[in-house]
Amino acid sequence: MSPEPSPTAAAPRGADVIHNIGYRNYDGPRLGRAYARRSLFIQSLRSAYGLGRAAKSKVLPMILFAVMTLPAGILVAVTVTTGGDELPVKYAEYAVQLQPVIAIFVAAVAPQAVSLDLRFKTIPLYFSRPIERIDYVLAKSAALSAALFIFIAAPVVILYAGALLAKLDFTDQTVGFAQGTVFAAIYALVYAGLGLAIAALTPRRGFGVAAIIAVLTIPYMLISALQGIAEQQGSGSVGWLGAASPGTLLAGVQEKFFGGISAFPGSVQLSNAEGAVYLLLIAALIAGSFALLQRRYRKAGL
């Protein structure tokens, strides 16, 4: 017995045919924008440390994390062993001392967060879901800020645990720990915003890495050199010069508001007016980076 002819075989040549192959309308729950935004945040946060990706993707973030936390462990061991009455470094000061490591981490993970989506034109797939441009930008910004906060705050936690183990003054250490944690959050917001705004300018990951390292390190070294010259000449402009780069801005803020030690030449301390300007510039950097990121995606017609 021969099989029945299919509708295609029965249709005249050149005629349009609708095949019913069993697709059904989705009748499950609609989880909405909040769920999609949260999922994008979690996926981006995990990607920053290579979680859920190939093993080689975890190597660099984990090495950098070890480089960031290992000195804190050594400082704690030295304090406990020698019975010192205070930690060798302040909580907020620690991030300033390891600023190059933080810059490399941002350069490594920020392009991964946004450049590949631009390069492989996967953005329209995101927007086929119930999220909008602002949701995408918020999720990516929050994910990189959270990844960077973990990166910076982890050694602060190690220092605090070591201080308690060494039986240092509980109140002083707790205040310092709180200051270091808040400063880590500010640091993460500034560097994550700058990193994403720069990385989103190019779909090429290599260009993004080079540009981020250049923006985060060259102005810092240049301004530090100018501050050294100004200090040697007895100029009173050391503090104002520090407002010209993100790294020196953060160094000044940690000294003025978070109990740190001045990292400027001659241990110059900020005046109240300089401190207020520094805070305004920090807020402008965070808001400006976010606005630039939104503008980038609006301009790209995504």
pLDDT along the chain (302 residues), means of 10: 48 69 74 85 90 85 95 92 87 92 93 78 68 86 95 96 91 94 96 92 85 92 91 86 92 89 86 93 94 80 53
Alpha-carbon separation of residue 199 from 43, 104, 110, 167 (angstroms): 18, 13, 6, 44
What pLDDT was estimated at residue 124?
Answer: 65
Q: How many residues does the chain have?
A: 302
Alpha-carbon separation of residue 63 from 68, 70, 109, 169 (angstroms): 9, 10, 13, 33
CB count in 10 Å sphere of residue 277? 18
117: its two tokens: 């989506």
Contact criterion met (CB below 8 Å) for 187 and 286: no
What pLDDT was estimated at residue 179?
Answer: 94
What is the spatial distance between Cα 143 and Cα 153, in angstroms, rounded to a whole number? 15
Contact criterion met (CB below 8 Å) for 48 and 113: yes
